[in-house]
């Protein structure tokens, strides 16, 4: 929420009112200039003759900039002075009125009061154009407060002086309303989604503009509208989209013109899954028969960034079709799963901003004070150089420092201050001969990025470990929804597991061997425990725990020296979705000609998990005195009788009275005596 403020008209000149929307009316005494959106209706009216050429030149520049460019620009500021002034309604001071691209016409009123002491972009603008900066909030009592925090006491603010910020906001609200120059209002930041693109590739909009610039939809019989042939795909003059180059296509015989922007990739992809239902239909996107049969998508898997763009449009598109009665479901997807990103580890070294005795100097990351980070430049390094990459004690040794210098020759004369000496121009000077010199690096989890030099090439991993190992390790990293840092050290565990599984099918002489002998109860129990776990976990998309289940099963079968076909064949089928290449190889060695992908999925049989024998701890007054193996299925009375007849128990009962026997079937037996 905020307030609309309408300053009184100036005492000289044309007069008029300039409406602004602000969430911080308490800062009005620090407003040292106003900024209008370049497209604001008042710009032409208030610009003085002396400033008109400068304003027109700036407007011409803004016309070459898309709204997205203007929204994204955060570093450079630009603007032009109109020559006009507004009058501050509280102190009567004249405030110069500027225009700048960072103010957008469609948000708020298209005009802002600029308070450089309390807004970073206004601060940069004021410094660039030499405009006054008036401090209006004393934050000295809040040393950790940022410029955005509503903390501190008002200063240089007339009747607000001495008030805490939140109190000042309420006081100024009341004053503005009492003066009749503004009112409270909620202004939503939600703006129209930017759907158009200034590029060639994309669906053209079927929109035509008449002589007065009014948009009209093309007639249905003239559709589809196809892109014209172009030799040059660069933007046209004046920052216009590339399609503006196709003048014969843009300019229609009746004097109308076509829209030259194109739709984003989200357009076609908003309904492609519906087209899959009836892809060869030339009459409609899909027949009602096909749509009613297939209905909505059962499962859609996509990353969170993907969801923000494509899925938002797709859902809107589907809702429209539903309202038109063209699809039977109000939602396009039954289930949506956002998989987490596999992240990398960013390794950095710290360089002092100021040279030491004329030399650039690097220091160990563990010596850098977090409160003095502004004294350093953090430089990412190739993770290939780093020892113990990703660990708390990651570092560069002398050889790695030399690799870094060869990679970044601008630092060939730098001093690298290591924990046990320094490295300078190829010479390492130890403080102690017993310790290795290490330049400690800073490890942090982040996105894999070329600019951070931490991209892991999957081809290299596949080349060394194999595609199945790489695939299973990706699943093993953690829950599918979570972002997970890549750690090459952990892949060895999956690699060893696959080798162990492979070894089940070979004898001591490394010859392929399976037995047609019946499987033992223990072997079948291990197999069906795995079938149940993996099947249940697949339904929950818990692929990392599936891999854990495979590991447990293979370890159990190896300890049982299992070589039974009746166990190993189902295991191959079960592991096939996770390690398809190894599974396919083993499947064919087992004598099958068709792919394992065509085999029936293993069926879980609960009978194999039923225990024939249960081990009971027998306790007296809560203290365990014995362990006893008893047949499963015994009644409580039979369990009680058997326990009391044990020789190991009888000796503890001499001279005692059995008050009661507590039996928990399948768990424990406790005899209470007194």
Indicate which CATH number applies to the domain containing 625. 3.10.20.590
351-365 CB burial, b ≥16 within 10 A, e <16: bbeeeeeeebbbbbb
pLDDT (0 to 100) of residue 59 = 92
pLDDT (0 to 100) of residue 1 = 46
Question: Looking at the structure, do residues 501 and 604 belong to the same domain, yes or no?
Answer: yes
Q: How far are the Cα atoms of 51, 100, 115, 122, 123 from residue 33, in angstroms, in the given order?
A: 16, 12, 8, 9, 11
Question: Looking at the structure, do residues 252 and 287 belong to the same domain, yes or no?
Answer: no
pLDDT above 70: percentage of residues in the chain? 93
Question: Looking at the structure, do residues 435 and 486 belong to the same domain, yes or no?
Answer: no
Is position 198 within any domain?
no
pLDDT of 60 higher than 50: yes
Q: Write down which residue in 337, 367, 397 finishes a domain.
A: 337
What is the C-alpha to C-alpha distance for residues 673 and 80, in angstroms, rounded to an integer?
96
The pLDDT tens digits for 445-482 are: 888 888 888 888 899 999 999 999 999 999 999 999 88
Burial class of 483 by CB neighbour count within 10 A (0 to 12, 13 to 18, 19+): middle
* Whether the Cβ atoms of residue 449 and residue 344 lie closer than 8 Å to each other: yes
Could you tell me the residue range of the domain that residue 389 belongs to?
347-452
Question: Looking at the structure, do residues 424 and 488 belong to the same domain, yes or no?
Answer: no
Residue 70: strand, helix, or coil: helix
Taking the CA atoms of 163, 166, 167 and 172 in sequence, report the sign of the dihedral they define.
positive
Question: Looking at the structure, do residues 21 and 125 belong to the same domain, yes or no?
Answer: yes
Residue 113: strand, helix, or coil: strand
Question: Looking at the structure, do residues 35 and 127 belong to the same domain, yes or no?
Answer: yes
pLDDT (0 to 100) of residue 12 = 47
pTM for the predicted model, two decimal places: 0.61
The token pair at 294 is: 């297939």
* Whether the Cβ atoms of residue 491 and residue 461 lie closer than 8 Å to each other: yes
pLDDT of 192 higher than 60: no
What is the C-alpha to C-alpha distance for residues 668 and 623, in angstroms, rounded to an integer?
12
Q: Write down which residue in 608, 632, 658 finishes a domain.
A: 608
Per-residue 3-state assignment (H helix, E strand, C coil) for 609-659: HCCCEEEEEEEECCEEEEEEEEECCCCHHHHHHHHHCCHHHHHHHCCCCEE
Mean pLDDT, range 497-501, rounded to an integer: 97
Question: Looking at the structure, do residues 229 and 164 belong to the same domain, yes or no?
Answer: no
Q: How many CB atoms lie within 10 A of CB 262?
A: 21
Q: How far are the Cα atoms of 45, 400, 553, 606, 619 from residue 610, in angstroms, in the given order?
A: 89, 58, 17, 7, 25
The pLDDT tens digits for 7-25 are: 444 434 445 788 888 889 9
Band of residue 116 on the pLDDT scale cut at 50, 70, 90 = very high
Is position 342 within any domain?
no
Mean pLDDT, range 536-564, rounded to an integer: 96
pLDDT (0 to 100) of residue 150 = 84
Question: Looking at the structure, do residues 170 and 238 belong to the same domain, yes or no?
Answer: no
Question: Looking at the structure, do residues 72 and 137 belong to the same domain, yes or no?
Answer: yes
| Number of domains the chain is built from | 6
Question: Looking at the structure, do residues 312 and 245 belong to the same domain, yes or no?
Answer: no
Is position 196 within any domain?
no
What is the C-alpha to C-alpha distance for residues 286 and 274, in angstroms, rounded to an integer?
7
Question: Looking at the structure, do residues 442 and 467 belong to the same domain, yes or no?
Answer: no
Which one-letter DSSP state was computed for residue 310? I
What is the C-alpha to C-alpha distance for residues 650 and 643, in angstroms, rounded to an integer?
9
Residue 417: strand, helix, or coil: strand
């Amino acid at each position: 929420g905020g307030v609309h403020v309408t300053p009184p008209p100036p005492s000289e000149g044309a007069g008029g009112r300039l409406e602004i929307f602000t969430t911080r009316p308490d800062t009005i005494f620090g407003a040292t200039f106003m900024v209008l959106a370049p497209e604001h209706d008042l710009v032409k009216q208030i610009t003085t003759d002396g400033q008109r050429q400068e304003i027109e030149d700036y407007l011409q520049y803004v016309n070459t900039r898309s709204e997205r460019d203007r929204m994204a620009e955060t570093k450079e500021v630009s603007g032009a002075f109109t020559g006009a002034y507004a009058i501050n309604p509280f102190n009567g001071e004249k405030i110069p009125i500027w225009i700048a691209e960072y103010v957008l016409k469609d948000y708020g009123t298209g005009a802002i009061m600029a308070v450089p002491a309390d807004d970073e972009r206004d601060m940069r603008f004021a410094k660039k154009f030499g405009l006054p900066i008036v401090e209006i909030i004393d934050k000295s009592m809040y040393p950790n407060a940022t410029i955005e925090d509503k903390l501190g006491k008002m200063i240089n603010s007339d009747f607000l002086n001495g008030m805490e910020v939140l109190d000042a906001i309420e006081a100024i609200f009341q004053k503005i309303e009492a003066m009749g120059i503004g009112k409270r209002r909620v202004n939503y930041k939600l703006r129209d989604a930017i759907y158009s693109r200034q590029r060639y590739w994309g669906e053209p909009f079927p929109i035509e503009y008449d002589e007065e610039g009014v948009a009209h939809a093309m007639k249905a019989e003239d559709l589809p509208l196809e892109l014209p042939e172009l030799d040059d795909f660069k933007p046209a003059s004046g920052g216009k989209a590339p399609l503006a180059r196709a003048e014969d296509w843009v300019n229609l015989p009746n004097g109308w013109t076509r829209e030259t922007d194109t739709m984003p990739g989200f357009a076609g992809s908003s309904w492609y899954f519906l087209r899959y239902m009836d892809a060869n239909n030339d009459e409609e996107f899909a027949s009602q028969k096909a749509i009613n049969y297939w209905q909505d998508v059962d499962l859609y898997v996509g990353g969170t960034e993907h969801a923000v763009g494509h899925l938002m449009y797709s859902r809107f598109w589907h809702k429209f079709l539903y309202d038109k009665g063209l699809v039977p479901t109000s939602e396009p997807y039954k289930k949506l799963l956002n998989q987490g990103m596999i992240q990398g580890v960013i390794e950095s070294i710290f360089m002092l901003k100021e040279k030491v005795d004329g030399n650039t100097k690097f220091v160990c990351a563990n010596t850098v004070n977090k409160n003095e980070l502004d004294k350093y430049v953090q430089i990412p390094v190739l993770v290939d150089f780093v020892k113990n990459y990703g660990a708390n004690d990651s570092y560069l040794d002398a050889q790695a420092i030399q690799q870094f210098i060869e990679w970044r020759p601008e630092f060939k004369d730098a001093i690298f201050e290591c924990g046990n000496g320094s490295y300078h121009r190829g010479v390492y000077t130890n403080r102690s001969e017993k310790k290795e010199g290490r330049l400690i690096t800073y490890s942090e989890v982040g996105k894999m990025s070329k600019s951070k030099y931490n991209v892991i090439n999957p081809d290299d991993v596949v080349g060394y470990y194999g595609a199945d190992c790489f695939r299973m390790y990706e699943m093993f990293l953690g829950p599918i929804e979570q972002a997970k840092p890549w750690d090459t050290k952990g892949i060895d565990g999956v690699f060893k597991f696959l080798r162990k599984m492979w070894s089940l099918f070979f004898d001591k002489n490394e010859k392929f061997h399976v037995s047609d002998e019946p499987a033992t109860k223990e072997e079948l129990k291990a197999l069906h425990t795995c079938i149940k776990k993996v099947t249940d976990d697949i339904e929950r998309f818990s692929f990392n725990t599936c891999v854990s289940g495979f590991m447990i099963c293979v370890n159990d079968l190896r300890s049982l020296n299992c070589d039974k076909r009746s166990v190993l064949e189902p295991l191959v089928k079960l592991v096939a979705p996770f390690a398809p290449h190894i599974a396919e190889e083993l499947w064919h060695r087992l004598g099958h000609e068709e792919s394992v992908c065509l085999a029936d999925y293993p069926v879980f049989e609960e009978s194999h998990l039923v225990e024939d024998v249960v081990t009971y701890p027998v306790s007296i007054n809560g203290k365990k005195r014995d362990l006893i193996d008893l047949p499963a299925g015994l009644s409580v009375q039979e369990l009680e009788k058997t326990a009391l007849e044990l020789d190991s128990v009888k000796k503890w009962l001499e001279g005692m009275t059995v008050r009661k026997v507590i039996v928990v079937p399948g768990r424990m037996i406790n005899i209470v005596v007194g």
